[in-house]
Amino acid sequence: MMSSHKNVLKLLGCCMEFVKPVIVCEYAGQGPLQLEDKDGTPLPWSARLKIGKEIADAVAYLHSAFPRVIINRDINPRNIFLDENGTAKLSSFCLSISIPEGESSVFDDKVFSGVSVDPAYNGTGLVSDKFDVYSFGVTMLFFLGGELALVWLSALIGEFGFPFPAYVEELADQFLYVIDSSIWNGESEASALQVEAFFGLALRCVRFPPGQEVLTMIDVAKELKGMEDLDSKQQSSQNLNAEAGSSQLPEPLITDVKKRKGKEIMY
């Protein structure tokens, strides 16, 4: 039933002609999500926003369309595919778990690692819809800054712990160092309001800063839909075009982010 959603990679069947059973899914013409094509051309901002909205719709569907809420637990850039028309498809449900009716969470003793995993989970073993919201927020940061954005988030958690202390809110401007420069060029210059709103929503998904109301994926999907309707002519990039040279993060943290650029990221 999950495959009935247009933004979920459809499961076609299972092939038993190999040593181990092989799951067969629909063909995704453009393959896995890439922020650059084979010629090095960056994915336009409009496409990034569209993909984000479509994946949010799929996750919101999992959280709301069934008697038992389904938590994917494996939302990350590597599990997003694009068909020949550029439509986003969420894949990989091997780690999914359902929450009993009438409950808001379920206990699971599996240990997960990776930047996309909600740090609060491994401390409690409780799985709720917050798990997917956090993972989706990490994916949103990836849309803005690629793998370096994930290094930035990991460095923040390593430096300050999780939940984040209240004062980390002052450090958000540091993300300017890792935003893909192509977002500010070409057609994307007219999307400053969208980029600003997208970044703010991503931070709220990963509960940065703490103390704010925790979003649901339905909330996230609605906000992303609203971003598409923002008047692109009302350019207001002053907030995001603040001087990136005025570092507010501790120098060792900045150095650590730069050193880790290009290293293998565990999603």
Which CATH number is 112's domain given?
A: 1.10.510.10
Average of per-residue pLDDT across 67-86 = 96
Rounded (5°) CA angle 259-261-265: 120
Average pLDDT over residues 226-235: 65
pTM of the model: 0.84
Domain that holds residue 56: 32-260
The whole-chain average pLDDT of the chain stands at 84
Does 197 fall in a domain? yes
Q: Is 74 a catalytic residue?
A: yes
Q: Say if 9 falls within a structural domain.
A: no
Domain assignment present for residue 19? The answer is: no
Alpha-carbon distance of 72 to 66, in angstroms, equals 13
pLDDT of residue 242: 41
Comparing CA positions, the residue from 151, 120, 121 lying closest to residue 138 is 151
pLDDT score, position 16: 94
> Is residue 59 in a domain?
yes
CA pair distance 93, 225, nearest whole angstrom: 25
Catalytic one of 37, 39, 57, 74:
74
Reduce the DSSP state of residue 11 to 3 states and report it. Answer: strand
Q: Judge whether 7 lies within some domain.
A: no
The total domain count for the chain is 1
pLDDT attached to residue 167: 82
**Domain-located, residue 12:** no
CA distance 142 to 52: 10
Nearest in space to 140 (alpha carbons), one of 215, 57, 201: 201
Q: Give which of 227, 219, 51, 228 is closest to 139, Cα–Cα.
A: 51
Q: Is 161 exposed, middle or buried (0-12, 13-18, 19+ CB in 10 A)?
A: exposed
More confident residue, 106 or 160: 106
Would residue 27 count as lying in a domain?
no
Q: Let me know if residue 100 belongs to a domain.
A: yes
Residue 78 confidence (pLDDT) above 70? yes
> Among the ranges 220-224, 231-235, 245-249, which has the highest mean pLDDT value?
220-224
